[in-house]
Structure 1
Amino acid sequence: MKTFAQKIEEVLKDKNINTVQLAEKLGVSQSLISQWLSGEKRTRKFLKPLADFSGYPIEYFLDDNMETIVQLRSEINDDSDTVYVPFFKDGVVSAGFGAENGDLGEPDLLPFKPEDLRIMFNVSPKATIGIIPCFGNSMEPTIHESDLVVFCHDNQEPIEGAIYVCRYDGELLVKRFKKRPHLALISDNKDYDPIKIEEFLSVGIIGRVVGSYSINSKRF
């Protein structure tokens, strides 16, 4: 098993370069490369340029147990047939969706085929997409507990009746938006009362829900 630090050392050896040169190639600081080598940090937002430069797939750097390098079907770039979608496995996400999430922990990256994103969720592979697990049954039967909720951050005005991942009063929620006769967050499960939005509190829109899917499995 190779650690992330060992894989960085491998890249340095394969390319016959030093840490300063690698930092220049990736557009990062030398101190970050040193942190990688010491095992202090693995900054996922730089994995794509690292994969582009090294020729290894992103999966190779994500999985410490991956001894055999799995070749991608094409080079990892904007025209790749693999799209990596952030997965907030701990349900930690903010309205910033991007750089501002750095203090909330980094997401895992889930690979998708672009055509699967279009077929499953009717979204462009270039859209700003995220995935978050659903806990609780307030959105049943539409979204089931333990489903993975797929949301798109599009900066558009909330749509009446659409489902959103949002933050309200310190809680992370998956609810329908109701604007009339007053602003409220609605559950599809009728056992839950609507949440009327108070004037002194705001709702942080994280993204519009475009679909959900289940990864439940059984082992015998």
Structure 2
Amino acid sequence: MDLNFIRNIRKFLSQENLSIAEFAGIIGEKTSRVNDVLKGKQRPPFDMLQKIIEKFDIDANWLILGSGEVQNWNSSSNEKYSDELDYVPDYDVLVSAGMGIDGQGTTSPRAYQAFRRDWLHQRGLHARNLSIVTARGDSMEPTINNGDMLLVDMSKKVPRDSSIYIIRNNDTLWVKRIQTQPDGKLLLISDNKTYPPIQLNLDEFDDVEIVGKVVNISKDIY
């Protein structure tokens, strides 16, 4: 079934001129998860099959077995879905939910993740200000787990107490809650109480920056 599924989905994407990011956005999946399925790294989950069949009105027999009619999908609907989506760059960058790690990764996006435009606007978010990075470590558990994807609004650089931010110190990146102290110093707080707070004096460092505010956390549930 897997090879038939992969071949048929790739054929369908080519036929409808859909990118993987657009396809993932329409069915409400992460681009990375769809990529893994299409590369054969994981079997197509039942919930993904169900969403593809429902969203595109694809014949299940054709999708899984390659038999029967292809689908009743009207390709003009592609424009409708595309008009509803914005795409946010997903960087291969790790931020530390621990005691600090070097910001690893590249400056070019590894993929783009699709978000419904109305969902973003309801939250006062604009795709041009957003980026996605990946958390590493356990200091922000249970709020942020190792491997969670963080949606960061890079226009929000002025800390508000108890909100979660990405902080850069030279090449080190943290994801922490921030409290501003009366003397202007920042207290970087972990949700995992086994990690002590980190005090940061912005006046003592030339290369410290609040990169942006974490506005959404995406996690896999196994």
TM-score range, shorter chain: 0.5 to 0.7
Q: Aligned pair 1:176/2:181, yes or no?
A: no
- The runs of 5 or more residues in structure 1 that have no matched partner are 1-54, 93-102
Task: Write the distance in 1 (CA, Å) between the matches of 2:142 and 2:92.
Answer: 22
1:107 aligned to which of 106, 110, 120: 110
Q: Which residue of 2 aligns with 1:211?
A: 216
Once the two structures are TM-superposed, the CA of residue 155 in structure 1 deviates from its matched residue by 4.6
CA distance in 1 between counterparts of 2:134 and 2:21 reads 25
Task: Supply the distance in 2 between the matched residues of 1:58 and 1:211 (Cα, whole angstroms).
Answer: 24
TM-score by length of 1: 0.54
Residue 158 (structure 1) aligns with: 159
3-state SS, counterpart of residue 73 of structure 1? helix
Q: How does 1:4-153 map to 2 (within 5 A)?
A: 56-59=17-20, 73-74=78-79, 80-91=83-94, 104-117=107-120, 122-126=123-127, 128-153=129-154
The whole-number CA distance in structure 2 between the counterparts of 1:159 and 1:127 is 22
Deviation, structure 1 residue 208: 0.5
Deviations 1:19-43 (A, max 9, x none): xxxxxxxxxxxxxxxxxxxxxxxxx
2:204 alignment partner in structure 1:
200
Q: Residue by residue, what CA displacement relative to the aligned partner does 1:25-77 show, whole Å, maximum 9, x if unpaired?
A: xxxxxxxxxxxxxxxxxxxxxxxxxxxxxx944438998x79xxx95631798
Describe the SS at the equivalent of 2:176.
strand
Deviation at 1:85, TM superposition (A): 1.1
Structure 1 residues 117 and 60, CA, compared in 2 at 3 Å: closer, same or farther?
Answer: closer
Q: CA distance change for structure 1 residues 126 and 171 in 2, over 3 Å: closer, same or farther?
A: closer
Report the Cα offset of residue 147 of structure 1: 1.4
Supply the distance in 1 between the matched residues of 2:170 and 2:144 (Cα, whole angstroms). Answer: 22
Q: 1:177–1:203: structure 2 CA closer, same or farther, 3 Å change rule?
A: farther
Calculate percent identity across the aligned residue pairs. 27
Checking the alignment, whether the CA contact within 8 Å between 2:179 and 2:187 is kept in structure 1 is: yes
Deviations 1:124-171 (A, max 9, x none): 344511111111111112212221111111154222221101212421
Where do 4+ consecutive residues of structure 1 move more than 6 Å?
60-63
- Structure 2, unmatched stretches of 5+, are 1-15, 23-30, 40-73, 96-105
Q: Higher strand proportion, which one?
A: 2
